[in-house]
Amino acid sequence: MKTYFSTFITGTQEIVKEFLAKRGVKIKLLLDGLVVYESDYPEREIRNFHIFNNTYLLLRSFSNLAPDAKSLEKILAMVSHDKNLQHQIAINLPSRKRNFKIVSSLENSMVPVSRELLQKLESIILRTPGTRLNIQKPDLEFWALLRRERYGFFGIRVTYPFRHENYREKGELRKEISYILSFLSKPNPKDVVLDPFAGYGSIPIERAASFPYKEIIAVEKEDDLISKLKQKVKASGKKIEVIRGNALALSGIQNKSIDKIISDPPWGEYKEVPDLEKFYESLLLEFDRILKKEGVIVLLIGAKDIFENILQNKFTNIFQLQKKYDILVSGKKAAIYKLVRNYENK
């Protein structure tokens, strides 16, 4: 049994708690954006927990620390004086990753610390055979993290993105957001899934990669995105139907034929939307037409007030807001909405 700590999108603690509970994982500490847990899952499976931004093998933890740079240096000093540290590092290092660097983070921001402290800790790590200090191109990272809740952590990062994942197109969703949206839809092997604003395919590709399904339909109307969408779908190796179409008039989608609608509609930033109120109204009307009786809608929305106003004033008898999660996406306020059909008012 090993202990890990993972960072995740702030505002999604409830989702993370449910995710880990379904896997029988014991949570030791849950903060807004970070969770500490015990698991006997193989590390390769821990790396595939796409709900997390990053995951680390916990070597040491601390509490009652002031959230400042001085306390971050205190963490490094305490770790350096730990007589058992070298042994812990030696038994937990990945066999093929030995070019390391040390990273210090204060509330998700990199913070410079005393070079003397870093050198002392580096010298301890270098006692492990085969390790080499490589600040420019490391394949192994030791992280010291300090949180505003006064908790500190020191560990080995176990999640590393593939090179192609480091680059995202402007407006393209991160993998973990796409995973969360899909997870909230309560995936089922019989699902017919639709993303009417597929864009670069983040949601349909993640839905296909991480969950069972019967059919996935990715709709996009922008000519410049269609070819890129098809390329990414092909590269994923997943069975996803790509359709050129208008999300507000899905003529190719039959009435009451879709189980799950999962999407990130335009926010009016990267794609101009002249009238968001009219846009959301038309969108929800079309969703009403194509969604099955027990269907689920999960949306990522930037213009929260406008969307909620339309939902409350014009669709109360049609859709019920089951869940709402306020989050940040690239520093911008947004919310995840889970809608189901409202039968109470019918």
Residue 165 lies in a domain: no
Q: What is the predicted pLDDT for the residue at 331?
A: 85
Express each pLDDT in 89-101 by its tens digit.
888 888 777 899 9
Q: Residues 17, 151: one domain?
A: yes
pLDDT at 270 over 60: no
Q: What is the predicted pLDDT for the residue at 167?
A: 64
Q: Which of 106, 130, 160 is the last residue of a domain?
A: 160
Q: Residues 307, 281: one domain?
A: yes
Q: Residues 240, 312: one domain?
A: yes
Q: What is the predicted pLDDT for the residue at 86?
A: 86
Q: What is the predicted pLDDT for the residue at 5?
A: 98
Q: Residues 42, 116: one domain?
A: yes
Q: Residues 103, 197: one domain?
A: no
Q: How confident is the model at residue 163 (pLDDT cuts 50, 70, 90)?
A: very low
- Please report which helix (H) or strand (E) contains residue 205, including its range: helix 202-210
pLDDT at 112 over 60: yes
Residue 346 lies in a domain: no
Q: Residues 149, 208: one domain?
A: no
Residue 63 lies in a domain: yes
User: Facing residues of 30 across strands?
Assistant: 35
Q: How many domains does the chain have?
A: 2
Residue 169 lies in a domain: no
Bridging pattern class, strands 99-106 and 109-110: antiparallel
Tokens of 230: 């098809």
Q: Which of 136, 160, 184 is the last residue of a domain?
A: 160
What angle do the packed helices 304-314 and 276-290 form, to 10 degrees? 50
> In terms of Cα–Cα distance, which of 246, 245, 56 is closest to 144?
56
Q: Which of 137, 160, 183 is the last residue of a domain?
A: 160
Q: Residues 259, 312: one domain?
A: yes
* Contact present, 91 and 98 (Cβ < 8 Å): no
**Residue 88: CATH number of its domain:** 3.30.2130.30
Q: What is the predicted pLDDT for the residue at 162?
A: 47
Q: Residues 183, 118: one domain?
A: no
Q: What is the distance between the alpha carbons of residues 337 and 340, in angstroms, rounded to a whole number?
A: 10
Q: Residues 207, 106: one domain?
A: no
Residue 170 lies in a domain: no
Residue 167 lies in a domain: no
Q: Residues 97, 50: one domain?
A: yes
Q: What is the predicted pLDDT for the residue at 268?
A: 61
Full domain range(s) for residue 99: 2-160
Express each pLDDT in 26-68 by its tens digit.
999 999 999 999 999 999 999 999 999 999 999 999 999 999 9
Share of the chain above pLDDT 90, in %: 80
Give mean pLDDT, residues 332-338. 96
Q: What is the predicted pLDDT for the residue at 169?
A: 74
Residue 199 lies in a domain: yes
Share of the chain above pLDDT 70, in %: 96
pTM metric for this prediction: 0.92
Express each pLDDT in 229-253 by its tens digit.
999 999 999 999 999 999 999 998 9
* Contact present, 72 and 113 (Cβ < 8 Å): yes
Q: Residues 196, 50: one domain?
A: no
To the nearest whole number, what is the mean pLDDT of the chain? Answer: 92
Tokens 């070079």 map to which residue? 115
Q: Residues 139, 186: one domain?
A: no
> In terms of Cα–Cα distance, which of 150, 151, 158, 100 is closest to 124?
100
Residue 289 lies in a domain: yes
**Residue 262: CATH number of its domain:** 3.40.50.150
